[in-house]
Structure 1
Amino acid sequence: MIAESKFYNNINVLDSVDKGNFKAEIIEYKSLTGSKNPSLARHLYYIQQAGMTLKQVKVTLNNSGVIVEPGALYFQKGNITCDANIGGVGGLAKKMIKNKLTNESTFNPLYKGSGEIFLEPSFSHFIVVSLDNGSIIVDKGIFYCAESSLEVGVASQKNISAGLFGGEGWFQTKISGTGTCILESPVPMSEILKYNLDNERLQVDGNFALLRSDSVKFSVERSGKGIAGKLTSGEGLLQTFEGTGAVWLAPTQPVYGSIGASGVSSLAAAPYNRNNPA
């Protein structure tokens, strides 16, 4: 018990949801001091100085279940069983199609029973999303786990422009029902802007919308009509969200991509020069 207490003393809970029979927590390690390799310890020091922390998803079940992305299980304790969650021949076919269309795994294991489940530790970011008889469309590959009361499926683009130019392909992951899901985000929650549209329009120059309500229409439009419009505005195609519902944006996501590809100096250039290098 002393060792367990010391472990939890080194843990912060970033976010959580507790329903009694199902509890999900996003935890982070306050420090990583276990390395005996000086070179690795130096890297860990700079990682922590940059504000990066090791995170993990912990799920506590009480006669309930959780759907998990394959390979994400790290360890578990308690009376918990695993179901491949295939759903017969028809279910197998649907899941194989879903895998091809959305880049999500074919089979999402369903863990049922009572106990604790820890998923793989990572320097990624995780966000908790709760649904109340609703549906959301999420970016490809960011589904991580979900309460077993939710259904994880496929949504097709309803607009030709969205399928051709939206950056998400023709199909995305759809999560429906009542319950809690956890998504793997490219940025922390503090860098996510949540819009609740009320019969409004939101236009985005880039591919950094993480999720939207199923009720929100998604399409792609030109920022200006014709060549003259593009030359005047300096922009091209805009992701367009219309209607009533939620849209979550990660405005800083493209910045990290630019730094990773070209270094910090790429951000010093004017936007037009960054988009149109010599």
Structure 2
Amino acid sequence: MNTHEIDYKLYGDDMQFVEVELDPGETVIAEAGSLMMMEDQIRMETIFGDGSGKQSSFMDKLIGAGKRLITGESLFMTTFTNEGMGKRHVSFASPYPGKIIPMDLSELNGKLICQKDAFLAAAKGVSVGIEFQKRIGTGFFGGEGFIMQKLEGDGLAFIHAGGTIQRKDLGPGEVLRVDTGCLVAMTSDVDYNIEFVGGIKTALFGGEGLFFATLRGPGSVWIQSLPFSRLASRVFAAAPQRPGSESKGEGSLAGGLFDLLGGDRR
């Protein structure tokens, strides 16, 4: 293997974190800001690029950092290296309610395509890059745009997503249609396209959006039940929309009646 072999343990249910066990000299890479805790004798270092350790020049590192910037991630990544004589542990937490999914890239033909903010951490040697969507319709209406994350290597990587996660293994020619925001990840052999829902009434009043993500096998896909964008929109919709409204009885029958009649609550 070209990637460091790390062990791990998942904790929690809805707000998970992953504890990575490092042997002496082993390194794990992670998104900046994902650290939860780490033991003594682990050296933390901020680096340019994707953390795979394959860049040989400053320009290569700059290109790797630029790719990450395109996907909306930070220019930097953080490495955690065990410099002690025994095993040490470092833990990384998911940024919102959901699940952390361990992915063994050696069992996925060495490549995984996932949504832009899915990557959490990985063994050193895993390359974190970008995957361009070649179809115009997929890019404009796919929910994730033209660019998705690409994880390559032969080691462990950890991605996170919202709600409950289900893996679906598709046979040759088998088709699965999902909401565009619910797609978390897929293997490289899955054909990904966007399909119009069809029917004016369904499109306008169905509440499910205008497009489906159409996934055609063979390959594996991972689906999330609660995309972060959906959670954020519900929280924003429920939040007070003007200063002081949180103390004026919002959500109550009396508050709604005052709004309806145009009454002054002061």
TM-score, with structure 2 as normaliser: 0.70
1:89 aligns with 2:63: no
> Aligned pair in 2 of structure 1 residues 21, 223: CA closer, same or farther (>3 Å)?
closer
> Aligned pair in 2 of structure 1 residues 230, 95: CA closer, same or farther (>3 Å)?
same
> Aligned pair in 2 of structure 1 residues 89, 221: CA closer, same or farther (>3 Å)?
same
Structure with greater contact order relative to length (CA < 8 Å, sep ≥ 6): 2
Q: Secondary structure at the match of 2:171?
A: strand
User: Offset at 1:98?
Assistant: 1.6
Cα distance in structure 2, aligned partners of 1:65 and 1:215: 30
1:152 to 113, 120, 128: 128
Cα distance in structure 2, aligned partners of 1:137 and 1:121: 19
> Aligned pair in 2 of structure 1 residues 111, 241: CA closer, same or farther (>3 Å)?
same
Q: Secondary structure at the match of 2:155?
A: strand
> Aligned pair in 2 of structure 1 residues 57, 232: CA closer, same or farther (>3 Å)?
closer
> Aligned pair in 2 of structure 1 residues 61, 192: CA closer, same or farther (>3 Å)?
same
The letter for the 2-side match of 1:150 is: V
Please say which of residues 58-67 and 122-131 is displaced more in the overlay.
122-131
Deviations for 1:145-202, whole angstroms, at most 9, x for unmatched residues?
0111321111111211111111111111111121211122211xxx222111112222
Q: Which residue of 2 aligns with 1:207?
A: 181
TM-score, with structure 1 as normaliser: 0.67
The count of residues paired between Structure 1 and Structure 2 equals 214
Cα distance in structure 1, aligned partners of 2:219 and 2:94: 32
Q: Which residue of 2 aligns with 1:15?
A: none
The letter for the 1-side match of 2:30 is: V
The letter for the 1-side match of 2:144 is: E
1:39-54 matches, cutoff 5 A: none
Q: Secondary structure at the match of 2:42?
A: strand
Cα distance in structure 1, aligned partners of 2:232 and 2:46: 35
Deviations for 1:34-78, whole angstroms, at most 9, x for unmatched residues?
xxxxxxxxxxxxxxxxxx865432111003211111122243224
> Aligned pair in 2 of structure 1 residues 120, 197: CA closer, same or farther (>3 Å)?
closer
Q: Which residue of 2 aligns with 1:25?
A: 9
Q: Tell me, yes or no, if the aligned pair for 2:114 and 2:149 is still in contact at 8 Å.
A: yes
Task: Kindly indicate which of the two structures has a greater share of residues assigned to helix.
Answer: 1
What RMSD, in angstroms, separates the aligned Cα atoms of the two structures? Answer: 2.8
Q: Secondary structure at the match of 1:103?
A: coil
Q: Which residue of 1 aligns with 2:78?
A: 109
The letter for the 2-side match of 1:68 is: A
> Aligned pair in 2 of structure 1 residues 81, 213: CA closer, same or farther (>3 Å)?
same
Q: Secondary structure at the match of 1:108?
A: strand
Cα distance in structure 2, aligned partners of 1:155 and 1:121: 23
Deviations for 1:77-119, whole angstroms, at most 9, x for unmatched residues?
2433344443332233223322332112222122223522133
Q: Tell me, yes or no, if the aligned pair for 1:56 and 1:122 is still in contact at 8 Å.
A: no
Q: Which residue of 2 aligns with 1:59?
A: 20
Cα distance in structure 1, aligned partners of 2:27 and 2:65: 22
The letter for the 2-side match of 1:245 is: G
Cα distance in structure 2, aligned partners of 1:202 and 1:121: 27
The sequence identity of aligned pairs, in percent, is 25
Q: Secondary structure at the match of 2:77?
A: coil
Give the unaligned 5+ runs of structure 2. Answer: 49-54, 239-266
1:218 aligns with 2:192: yes
Give the unaligned 5+ runs of structure 1. Answer: 1-19, 29-51, 264-278
Q: Secondary structure at the match of 2:149?
A: strand
Q: Which residue of 1 aligns with 2:139?
A: 163
Deviations for 1:13-41, whole angstroms, at most 9, x for unmatched residues?
xxxxxxx952122223xxxxxxxxxxxxx
2:67 to 90, 93, 98: 98
